[in-house]
A and B are shown apart, each in its own frame.
Chain A
């Protein structure tokens, strides 16, 4: 049982990191950024590229090399998020939501198959792999690497929480998410804040990408698709638009999957996990932490 919980928490922390970007973007401009999972893929490939260029130097440093690569990949994917917003979404800010949504799907394909052109269709294997001896904690096998990856995820989430609740940028973000027009009247540079949101959300996805690459080892140009879907589910379960909700939703989804697999078998796992999405959408569309907002006319 502890093993199940641990498995769930570990994979859930990846979901949570990716879900954060989804939820932040939705919270601020009401856009489901379907290209978000592909930024995760992009992060994994940037990490792979840097590690390959660094070669033997990186292999010698091991975990430290991955940390450096993590930061580089976060900067690159963050910038990619900025570009995505500037090129694909900003020109459509006033357009009907359906147009923006379709653009997001298009952007997702553009990133996937763009990466396929650059890196080829075959899966790549990370040159630095995180593997280590496991420690037995209450009947669960835990490796130091798993624990450190979770720690990194927690630190990133704590950093984000501080940024949103404790800084001026964060306050501006929250203001825009409540009312963009009023925020504009109050002298907030709406475009700049939205761009920053994209940067942060994308950087988090990129971090998750590098972590997944380093831990699981295999990356390919379609790897962002499923995790994007899962992160979206996590964001909805937690309450889309709500940052704490995304973290909670990610962990909840990881646990649901892990326990679902153990109880009713792997072939039913996704049925189990996604039926929770449907249940939430029907019974509590605002998710675990989302507040019920009365729409004013």
Chain B
């Protein structure tokens, strides 16, 4: 039996290794072939590419982003397009997973995409940056917001969402506001989640103080060990920076373990399913740091109605950001007068005061929004509602 087992395991490794090698080869192949897609010239439609999770753990977000972007594309085309050219949206699955995202990015580049308007999970978006950079494709990232993306200092990368650091600032402001004294942080070890936890931890030096950190493995059901560990520090405020699936379970298990203090979650956890998973009793009163959603933006009623009549479903998180990303892309192409990568980048850097849902747009030298626009939501009677705009 010994021999069987070891032989078998080494073979598993071998198969895995071969598969990875094959994937890398095919990825390179795509990269080389990318030159072939360029001859779409200056006549046909301007193709915008979007990577968004259509499968996997975050697949609920994909349609929200896709429809938001499609709405902007249709509106702009309805008004005659950009410089007489129509826009066209191509969507690929990112699956919140680096492998799918790089494959998708290569596919988009091969399809002759001029500007990328996608990117949800930071961990999956990160490896696509060099692919788009090599193909001279500017990226307007509507959702992914890890500081890791900013730290790459890629010329072609622009963030339409508030960054992790801005989110941490908002979280910290609110912690002080509600008088928290001992704050514990929990993350799920992904680039996005760890980033917010790290930047928040740096702020928690005086009062409120850091009362412990814990990283969990995403995709499990039982987090009781993590809960027990985090409660050892006796926190009165716990900030979960991961996604809603684990968030819901952790909130429930925290309450089951007898924790009565405050809980806050980051924007990746803002989803009605968070409340369903935690159970409305456990989720009641949970706070969240979140950029504007259609529901919390004043005067967005008409926009929501348009969206609903077009897609037969309500908009959700990142619908507005995806919508804005397309509009910004169109504006930049108009100002640049061409779809040439470096000309568009220059135009993007020059944009000042273009009206977005989150306010007038002006990119910082780091290509991030000058203000994150984060606000605090809370769960009230099982629904996620606006609590505090932090203005």
Interface, chain A (partner B; CB < 8 A): 3-4, 7-8, 10-11, 14, 30, 32, 97-98, 101-102, 116, 121-123, 125, 129, 131, 134, 141, 143, 212, 216-218, 220, 222-223, 225-227, 236, 240-241, 257-258, 261-262, 265-267, 269-270, 281, 285-286, 290, 292-293, 295
Contacts and interface: CB of A to CB of B under 8 A. Distances in A.
A195 to B, nearest CB: 22
Contacts of B109: none
A250 to B, nearest CB: 13
Given A122-B59, A125-B277, A218-B249, A266 B8 contact: no
Nearest to B258: A141
B359 interface: no
Contact of B224 (A11, A97, A281): A11
Given A217-B249, A218-B277, A226 B220 contact: yes
Interface residues of B, number: 45
A125 B245 CA distance: 10
Given A125-B276, A220-B57, 16 more contacts: A14-B222, A121-B55, A121-B56, A121-B60, A216-B222, A216-B249, A217-B252, A217-B279, A218-B245, A262-B228, A267-B214, A267-B215, A269-B217, A281-B6, A286-B2, A290-B1
A286 B6 CA distance: 10
20 contacts: A4-B225, A4-B228, A7-B224, A11-B224, A123-B57, A123-B277, A212-B221, A217-B277, A218-B221, A218-B277, A220-B245, A236-B5, A262-B232, A265-B215, A265-B229, A266-B214, A267-B189, A281-B9, A290-B1, A292-B2
B118 interface: no
A118 B211 CA distance: 44
B52 to A, nearest CB: 13
Contact of A32 (B8, B189, B249, B276): B8
Contacts, number: 126
A222 B219 contact: yes
A226 B59 CA distance: 19
A4 B220 CA distance: 18
B5 A285 contact: yes
Contacts of A290: 1
A286 B245 contact: no
B225 A216 contact: no
B379 to A, nearest CB: 15
Given A217-B279, A218-B245, A122 B225 contact: no
B173 interface: no
Contacts of B225: 4, 7-8, 11, 257-258, 261-262, 266, 269
Contacts of A270: 217
A134 B256 contact: yes
B142 interface: no
B22 interface: no
Contacts of A97: 4, 7-8, 11
A223 B222 CA distance: 12
B57 A218 contact: no
B12 interface: yes
Contacts of A8: 225
Contacts of B214: 265-267
Nearest to B11: A98
Nearest to B1: A293
Given A225-B219, A269-B217, A262 B229 contact: yes
A121 B59 contact: yes
B228 A7 contact: yes
A225 B220 CA distance: 9
B226 interface: yes
B49 to A, nearest CB: 21
A232 B273 CA distance: 31
B258 A241 contact: no
B24 interface: no
Given A7-B225, A123-B245, A293-B1, A266 B216 contact: yes
B178 interface: no
A101 B14 CA distance: 12
Contacts of B222: 7, 10-11, 14, 216
A258 B276 CA distance: 27
Nearest to B95: A121
A129 B245 contact: no
Contact of A143 (B59, B216, B248, B256): B256
A141 B231 CA distance: 13
Nearest to A132: B256
B1 A286 contact: yes
B15 interface: yes
A101 B11 contact: yes
A4 B225 CA distance: 7
Interface string B291-312: 0000000000000000000000
Nearest to B275: A125
A285 B229 contact: no
B20 interface: no
Contact of A266 (B5, B6, B229, B256): B229
Contacts of A285: 2, 5-6
Nearest to B252: A217
A244 to B, nearest CB: 16
A266 B229 CA distance: 8
A32 B56 CA distance: 25
B1 A240 contact: yes
